Amino acid sequence: MIDTNRPLLNSTCPICNKPLGRNKNACSMKCYAKLKSHYKLCIICGEKFQDSPSNLNKTCSSLCSVENRKRLAADGVNTAAMKKANEMASKSPLTGRFETHMHAKEWVIQTPDGQIYKCRNLKNWLREHEDMLDGTVRQAWMA
């Protein structure tokens, strides 16, 4: 009995029509890669582009992506979401001049007289101890 899932020895490559070699699906790894590639259609220009099925890309290029975002903004698609995000950011302790700021790091600062300070937000610490600085907070922060 012949296995119908397996191509016959005289089968040809579906990409280039050359005879199949050791590879059961295509004549070479190059053709096999093309055979297994996934393509999508760009929602802006309609061009076919190669992309993984798991990616959320809907456009073929950065120019089409910019155009897509402009169209979404003109339609007001993201307006409500951005408004809500801005409201929540103003209430969150992770987005301000606090020790809990999401980008704050642990700092250990030793003064010339040997006193040690521990803080989590260096810029906030500089603001609170401005009297200990030789210059301004900005000068200390930029140094």
Structural tokens at position 80? 């409500």
Q: Quote the pLDDT of residue 5.
A: 53
Spatial CA neighbour of 33 closest among 49, 50, 17: 50
pLDDT in tens, 57-83: 999 999 999 999 999 988 888 888 888
**Res. 120: pLDDT tops 50:** yes
Query: In the chain, pLDDT over 90 holds for what percent of residues?
Result: 24
Answer yes or no: are the C-beta atoms of 2 and 11 closer than 8 Å: no
Q: Quote the pLDDT of residue 97.
A: 65
Mean pLDDT, rounded, for 122-140: 87
**Res. 47: pLDDT tops 90:** yes
Q: What is the largest CA-CA distance in the chain?
A: 92
What's the pTM value of the predicted model, to 2 decimals? 0.45
Q: Quote the pLDDT of residue 44.
A: 95
Answer yes or no: are the C-beta atoms of 63 and 50 closer than 8 Å: no
Structural tokens at position 106? 């642990």
Mean pLDDT, rounded, for 95-121: 81
Q: Quote the pLDDT of residue 119.
A: 86
Structural tokens at position 117? 């300070």
Q: Quote the pLDDT of residue 25.
A: 85
pLDDT in tens, 10-23: 688 888 999 887 76
